[in-house]
Amino acid sequence: MIGDLLGHYRILAKLGQGGMGFVYRAHDEVLHRDVAVKVVSSSEVTQESSRKFLLHEARASSALNHPNICTIYEVGERLGELFIVMELVEGQPLSALIGANGLPVQSVLRYGSQIAAALAHAHGRNVVHRDLKSSNLVVTPAGLVKVLDFGLARRLPVEKTATEVTQTAGDYQGPDSVGGTLPYMAPEVLRGEPGDYRSDLWALGIVLYEAAAGKLPFSGKTSFETSSAILHDLPPPVPGRIPPGLWAIIQRCLIKEPAQRYQQASEVQAALEAVQSASIVAPEAPPADQRGPGTTVHRGIKHLQVKNGDVLLMVGTTKGLFLLRPNAHRSRWDVAGPYFHGHAIYALAFDGRAGRRRLWASTNSMIWGAFLRSSDDFGRTWTNPQEANVKFPADSGASLKNIWQIQLGREDQPDVLYCGVEPAALFQSHDAGETWSLVRGLFDHPHRPQWMPGFGGLALHTILPDPAEKDRVYVAISAGGAYVTNNAGATWQAVNKGVRVVFAPERYPEFGQCVHKIVQHPARPERLFLQNHWGLYRSDNSGESWQDIANAVPSDFGFAMAMHPHDPDCVYILPMESDEFRVCPEGRLRVYRTRNAGASWEALSRGLPQKGAYETVLRDSMAMDTEYPAGVYFGTRSGQLFGSIDEGKNWKKLLEGLPPVICVKTARVGEPRVARAPIQKQVIKKPVVKKTMRRVKR
């Protein structure tokens, strides 16, 4: 073979031999470069269908182009022998670098994040490795990891031993054969199920464990013992020098059930990079005069002149924050902003407890990420954190993507604040926002690995501290469902009984619902209202069970829901056509209100566009003030802001031409200027209605 030509590749030397054939060093006589040529003889692939499928897989893999993947240049056949021409990678296999005590932690993290990046690239192009192992990973002298043999090892038969060669479960039968290297095989593959990208993540967990501990987590004297260990045993603890964050990532990769593992390689990459960043010893902090400013001053912007008793309307958009203040009759509005040009403002709050007048805003930039900022002078100056103030601890294996909710604690807990974030988690502050801590009882919940991202991500977006029970807090997660704690966050229970799921085989699971919003009135804290992904519900027993209240609404799909500040039976919603067409039904912009806890609903549309109004209103884009009568406000994805100062009877467009509105909140600064008596609630007879919801055919 040495000296022969395969096409225009001159074979120079034999590099090695493995379960799939011989590997040679060759010279490309056209492009004048050295390459690696893998030759598979006709005896290795005996069926024509197997040969064609191997060629198909190899050609698909050749479409991958990533710095951590060995590039395939050409796939061909000569005299019954298949050959694959690929990049010649100079370096050592990772298996040769791992000593008896494993690699240094930084090396494990650095190599692991590169491997995860390669898998993310391949999985995004529907290519699954199926035989990831330390001997298929080459580390170059520059520290770059190259993943070899994408999409090939699964297709080829080899000796059936427990050694470091590729094993198949039976003779080669083509695309449906079960292949891989036994100690790296996922449990579902051993059970005869078709492996997918999550099987690659299992193998990545094995590689990470091997690199960290210097040995494989599952082994045995025979193939049967090794298979049994993979199927039934837990991985032994890693050495004490391994940080908890890295161990947590490895454990999650090695969960037996695929649905409970990481679902994407990019998640593993982000988790490894988060631990890697936390593991690096930070340099000594520079002197205060050399650091960035602790506050940001917004100049050249018209600011509001806010007085005691004023109503404040806060509008978050994808490109900044706007503040509005009305006159005494709420007939004219002053506008300030935009603050934080180019930043998405997903969450807002006003804290008037303990004499404060503090605005809170979450800002999200594609460059700088998510930060929590505050202002004590209604927007003139804002805090400018030097590092993320809400962030996951290193041992969590997670990294912050967004802050979806800012929620004040109870009135008798003036220094307590909550934040709901993505990936779904709850943070709490006991010092008025100076420091934040992860609520581990929820983050470590056994349901968490099975929560699935909704359309907008895996977000904890609703937080309701119970006004009657000090240690009770409700949260809602998309798509995880509703949960409650009765012991200040130590433990959490799912409260979704009766809430329907339309996107999974089980219609009423314990958890996994895509809850869009929950509201509660302090006068009746045991009663909750819930807008689901398809479904309107009410609970009269603190979430223990839910009943359907979607009576004669045009659609029970929607996002926004607002509680009347003075009437515990009154709730406002804004229905959307469907999850496939997320706009107002029939192109008519209508707010719906119930004044009898969901027994009936009435449309409120006077002053709103009723033709061609294909608007979208998101979950936090509707709010009410606490005036008499109460004001109702909402913003649309088209950048329009509407308001009603008579509880929805009449509507007026307050602003237009804004960036897409994603958050609307209200506040009253101090006490009202003039005390007002509550409006007497009208007695409404329950009408006889016919339940005619719009549904999407499925």
Provide the 3-class DSSP secondary structure of residue 117: helix
Residues labelled as active-site residues: 131
Tokens describing residue 346 = 């997903």
Q: What is the pLDDT of residue 398?
A: 81
Does 697 or 650 have the greater pLDDT score? 650
Q: How many domains does the chain have?
A: 2
Q: Is residue 502 in a domain?
A: no
Are 195 and 189 a contacting pair, CB within 8 Å? yes
| Same-domain check for residues 101 and 32 | no
| Same-domain check for residues 71 and 220 | no
- Residue 524's nearest CA partner among 564, 491, 483, 495 is 564
Q: Is the pLDDT confidence value at 185 over 90? A: yes
Q: What confidence category does residue 179 fall into, taking pLDDT thresholds of 50, 70 and 90? A: low
Q: What is the pLDDT of residue 293?
A: 57
Q: What is the pLDDT of residue 292?
A: 52
Tokens describing residue 417 = 């604040």
Q: What confidence category does residue 690 fall into, taking pLDDT thresholds of 50, 70 and 90? A: very low
Domain boundary among 226, 258, 279: 279
Q: What confidence category does residue 164 fall into, taking pLDDT thresholds of 50, 70 and 90? A: very low
Residues whose CB falls within 8 Å of the CB of residue 535, separated by 6 or more in sequence, listed in order: 499, 500, 548, 550, 556
Question: How far are the Cα atoms of 87, 510, 555, 678 from residue 506, in angstroms, in the given order?
Answer: 48, 10, 22, 46
Q: What is the pLDDT of residue 18?
A: 63
Q: What is the pLDDT of residue 471?
A: 95
Q: Is the dihedral of CA 106, 110, 112, 116 positive or negative?
A: positive
| Same-domain check for residues 140 and 58 | no
| Same-domain check for residues 122 and 260 | yes
Tokens describing residue 353 = 């407890």
Lowest-confidence segment of 165-179, 290-304, 657-671 by average pLDDT: 165-179
Phi–psi pair at 396, nearest 5 degrees: -80, -25
| Same-domain check for residues 254 and 132 | yes
| Same-domain check for residues 109 and 29 | no
Q: Is residue 618 in a domain?
A: no
Cα pseudo-dihedral 300, 301, 307, 311, rounded to 10: 180
Q: What percent of the chain has pLDDT over 70?
A: 86
Name the burial class of residue 34, with classes exposed (0-12), middle (13-18) and buried (19+) by CB atoms within 10 angstroms of its CB.
middle
Q: Residue 158's domain is classified under what CATH number? A: 1.10.510.10
Q: What is the pLDDT of residue 694?
A: 47
| Same-domain check for residues 74 and 157 | no
Query: What are the tens digits of pLDDT across the range 91-134?
Result: 899 999 998 999 999 999 999 999 999 999 999 888 888 889 99
Q: Is the pLDDT confidence value at 60 over 70? A: no
The mean predicted confidence, pLDDT, of the chain is: 86
Q: Is the dihedral of CA 492, 493, 496, 502 positive or negative?
A: positive
Q: What is the pLDDT of residue 547?
A: 97
3-state helix, strand, coil in the chain (%, to 5): 20, 30, 50
Tokens describing residue 303 = 């600011």
Tokens describing residue 164 = 């470091």
Residues whose CB falls within 8 Å of the CB of residue 208, separated by 6 or more in sequence, listed in order: 108, 112, 246, 249, 250, 253
| Same-domain check for residues 77 and 111 | no
| Same-domain check for residues 24 and 62 | yes
**What integer is the mean pLDDT of 597-624?**
96
**What crossing angle do the helices spanning 197-213 and 244-253 adopt, rounded to 10°?**
140
Q: What is the pLDDT of residue 695?
A: 46
Query: What are the tens digits of pLDDT across the range 388-443?
Result: 889 988 777 788 889 999 999 999 999 999 999 999 999 999 999 999 999 999 99
> In 47-192, where does DSSP find H-type helix?
48-61, 94-97, 105-123, 187-190
Query: What are the tens digits of pLDDT across the range 202-241?
Result: 999 999 999 999 999 999 999 999 999 999 998 999 998 8
Are 3 and 14 a contacting pair, CB within 8 Å? no
- Residue 279's nearest CA partner among 112, 475, 459 is 112
Q: What confidence category does residue 174 fall into, taking pLDDT thresholds of 50, 70 and 90? A: very low
What residues make up the domain containing 35? 5-87
Q: What confidence category does residue 41 fall into, taking pLDDT thresholds of 50, 70 and 90? A: low
Position 191: which residue type?
R
Domain boundary among 279, 304, 319: 279
Domain boundary among 39, 59, 87: 87
Q: What is the pLDDT of residue 156?
A: 36
Q: Residue 74's domain is classified under what CATH number? A: 3.30.200.20
| Same-domain check for residues 187 and 255 | yes
